[in-house]
Amino acid sequence: MKIGVELRALGDAGELFADARALEAAGADSFWARQAPGGDDPWALLAAIAAVTWRARLVVVDATPRPDAHVTVERLSRGRLVVAATNGETLTVPSAEGEGERWSRIDFPSSRDAWRELALRHEAQGTAGLVLPNDPRLLDLLRNPDVIEDRSDIKLAFG
């Protein structure tokens, strides 16, 4: 199951960049940004993330088309930019095969048991990946996916 991280430019930009680098190193497949009313520009956010990451895909969702921004992010990311379509909580990422990958946007699970149940259920439904909000517990989940005991009390500092 692939893991995507939904990013928002809240707080210190340096922390966001450190989060992105740490999450990518831990195995996050992609970083997602969406257009929100009165929110940050997802194109600018992904351009900044492109500058500090090297492998993870950069996915823009529900953004106002801006050809100039699209070209800039595409260049900075060295071809990692993806424009996804949305239908509620189901997201579709174009793939080379033409059908597209189905992803689901979910809230951060309350425990490791809840995480395992969510992942198994979505995998059985043919979901390619899950998009979770950037949360301090996500790094632990990515680094230690097979740990069984509840580690929800861990609060890791990124970077």
Give CA separation, 153 vs 5, 23, 88, 156, in Å.
20, 19, 31, 10
Q: Examine residue 153 and state whether it is found in any structural domain, yes or no.
A: no
Q: Examine residue 133 and state whether it is found in any structural domain, yes or no.
A: yes
Q: Examine residue 156 and state whether it is found in any structural domain, yes or no.
A: no
Q: What is the pLDDT of residues 99-154, one digit of tens each?
A: 789 999 999 999 889 999 999 999 999 999 999 999 989 999 999 887 766 555 55
Handedness of CA 120, 121, 123, 129 (dihedral sign): negative
Q: Examine residue 130 and state whether it is found in any structural domain, yes or no.
A: yes
17 contacts 49 by C-beta, under 8 angstroms: yes
The model's pTM: 0.88
Domain count, the chain: 1
pLDDT bin (cut points 50, 70, 90) of residue 63 is confident
Q: What residue numbers bound the domain in which 120 lies?
A: 2-143
